[in-house]
Structure 1
Amino acid sequence: MIKREKYIQKIRPFINKDLIKVLTGMRRSGKSVMLDLIKEELLSSEVDPSQFISINFENMNNTHLCDAVSLHNEIIKLSAFIKGKTYLFFDEIQEVKNWEKCINSLRIELDCDIYITGSNANLLSSELATYLAGRYVEFVIYPFSFSEFIELYNTIHLGMTNQQLFNEYLMYGGMPYLANLNYNKEAVNRYLLDLFNSVELKDIVKRNKIRDIDILERILAFVTKNIGTTFSATSISKYLKNEGCSISPETILNYIKACVNAYLFYPVKRMDLRGKKVLTVNEKYYIADHGIREAVYGGNQTDIQLVLENIVYMELLRRGYTIHIGKIDNKEIDFICEKQNNKIYIQVTYLLASQETIDREFKVYDTIKDNYPKYVLSLDPFNMSQNGIIHRNIIDFLLEE
């Protein structure tokens, strides 16, 4: 287990504060481990472990607690034996019916500090916001970054260069449990396929009461194959019609939204840089973990341009940026990244192997006259910066603080 200190740094200021800490993200992305790391943080500040109450609602032994009243009564009973503040850790809280009512009541009744995890974006719906009245703070937990992957991979396989490690990361991705499999290729593929099926069944089909699983799987396959590619629901509808399946664009959008709510896909909207407005058509989607794509669909090496974009996009999310695709006339900038009052532009390409590629990646910035940093990222080992545009090696970019 690695410490994931960057997450702990974000959570630390809210420990022992009257705010519910909500950890969200895709199934098996490390949320349960984060609860353990928070417990370690508390123990290091001399909190007694007897003050902890922890419940995982995917454990069948806790099925009887999966409604608000039963859970509330159990916690009130257990907390009566605790001296001092009670620390509550609820894993996969969405399994509890009307859980928000219970959590809000416990927050009011007890001297407690509450931490919850969930695998669905609807966890923070408007209804929840109403019950908790702004009394929560959210932390999205993503699969391992490249730097976290190196930290764990190096405990198993020593002596590899960063380039060799990146080649492994391209294929395996960043799901935390893979270290327990010693990154054995066959075992990893089996695990990631099972994970994909679990997300599909539990977090998409079951939660959204989807009946036509065949159509869903076709949409999943299309989006997984076409990460980082601009498309519309209408284009998917036409594609499926050619495959012999008739489905409306509206239904396709609902299915994709269910996948987004399960944190499997992340949508990126396009921004017209001339009109300064966000466009509502032809989004791009990226997958939470590119290793899942390799296990389910394959082709990460063949589609390395798209996979590199996916890796950079997820890293930008980890760094806290709000991201759009930039559209200017008939050209696109891969990522416009904003955080507080800062902005950066990023182009991602595999290699700057020809003058045509160099011109395409650098000259797209010619019409942008502001002074925010503009980057071109590639796997080239040499610095090819020009005209104030910064060229960075992707591996170096991923490893920088």
Structure 2
Amino acid sequence: YAAVGGDKQGAWKAYYTYGGLPHVLTLVGDKKKSDYLYNVYRKTYLTDIKERHEIKEHEFEELAKMLSSFIGSSCNPNKLTNTFKSKVNVDLSYPTVVKYISYLKDSFLIEEAERYDIKGRKYIGSLSKYYFCDLGVRNSILNFRQQEENHIMENVLYNELRMRGYNVDVGMVDVKRKIDGKSIRQQYEVDFVVNEGSDRYYIQ
């Protein structure tokens, strides 16, 4: 905030575009910032992960791009596998997608928020949401395209809650209603189910 002269809107735009890595604040100009973040992703994250796990396939990079595009949206390995088939015309197996996601999580590039059934008080092993630990790195993966402010704000809130020590899930509520004499089941999402010990909070 202080780094941009106290301009709140300017601070917000700078943060949701270039993230919170400390060195970014020392750089002047959009190109220097974007080049730095791109190199952080390519030469630090990507190179380290691919060398450590002996990955040669280009599909790993494509998966990182897909997850960058999906922030704020529910997805799972099955959905990602199908997206590879339909959009990239590549058969990437379910186990491989699961493995690649685990590499991204272990590198602290992304975190997973699991789906939680609020009424049933149990986890639903279907869809999750993935959030990036730094938005600047996320944006660099997409060459600073797809900067939807609503989804980025959701990612910012998730990161803030995690920074404060909370465990964060995505809530789901099943509601049964009768419409024209027919019983209809509808699902509603609660943005965040926030847990700290025995305390639980719902954020919408």
Flag the structure with higher strand content.
Answer: 2
Contact conserved, 1:170 with 1:300, CA < 8 A, in 2? no
Corresponding residue to 2:155 among 310, 320, 329: 310
How big is the shift at 1:296? 2.4
1:205 and 2:46 aligned: no
Matches within 5 A, 1:114-193: 150-151=1-2, 153=3, 157-158=4-5, 160-182=6-28, 184-193=29-38
d(CA) in 2 for partners of 1:247, 1:266? 21
How big is the shift at 1:268? 0.6
Task: Specify the alignment match of 1:216 in structure 2.
Answer: 60
How big is the shift at 1:161? 2.5
AA aligned opposite 1:224: S
Contact conserved, 1:270 with 1:279, CA < 8 A, in 2? yes
What secondary structure, in the 3-state scheme, does the structure 1 residue paired with 2:124 have?
strand
Q: Which runs of 5+ in 2 are unaligned?
A: 175-186
Task: Specify the alignment match of 1:265 in structure 2.
Answer: 110
Contact conserved, 1:230 with 1:282, CA < 8 A, in 2? yes
Contact conserved, 1:293 with 1:300, CA < 8 A, in 2? no
Task: Specify the alignment match of 2:99 in structure 1.
Answer: 254
Note the aligned Cα RMSD (angstroms): 1.4
d(CA) in 1 for partners of 2:66, 2:146? 15
1:335 and 2:195 aligned: no
d(CA) in 2 for partners of 1:288, 1:200? 15
1:237 and 2:81 aligned: yes
Corresponding residue to 2:121 among 261, 267, 276: 276
What secondary structure, in the 3-state scheme, does the structure 1 residue paired with 2:192 have?
strand
d(CA) in 2 for partners of 1:343, 1:233? 28
AA aligned opposite 1:332: E
TM-score between both structures, scaled by the size of structure 1:
0.46
How big is the shift at 1:342? 2.6
Matches within 5 A, 1:2-401: 150-151=1-2, 153=3, 157-158=4-5, 160-182=6-28, 184-197=29-42, 198-202=44-48, 204-212=49-57, 214-242=58-86, 243-297=88-142, 298-299=144-145, 301=147, 303-329=148-174, 330-347=187-204
AA aligned opposite 2:188: K
Spell out structure 1 runs of 4+ moving beyond 3 A.
none
Identical columns (%): 25
Give the count of matched residue pairs. 189
d(CA) in 1 for partners of 2:201, 2:93? 37
d(CA) in 1 for partners of 2:165, 2:89? 42
d(CA) in 2 for partners of 1:300, 1:174? 18
TM-score between both structures, scaled by the size of structure 2:
0.88
| Higher RCO (Cα < 8 Å, 6 or more apart) | 2
